[in-house]
Amino acid sequence: MNAILKGLYGHLTASLATVVPVSRGPGGAAGVAVFDDAPQETAYPFVQIGDLSAIADDLVVDEISRVTVPLMIHSRYHGQREVLALAALVRTALHDVLIPIDDGALSQCRVTRQAVDRDADGITRVATLIVDLTLEH
Tally Cβ neighbours within 10 Å of residue 94: 21
Torsional sign, CA 97, 98, 100, 103:
positive
pLDDT of residue 60: 58
Domains and CATH numbers, the chain: 2-136 (3.30.2000.30)
pLDDT in tens, 58-111: 655 567 788 999 999 999 999 999 999 999 999 999 999 888 887 767 778 999
> What are the tens digits of pLDDT across the range 17-39?
999 999 999 999 999 999 999 99
pTM listed for this prediction: 0.90
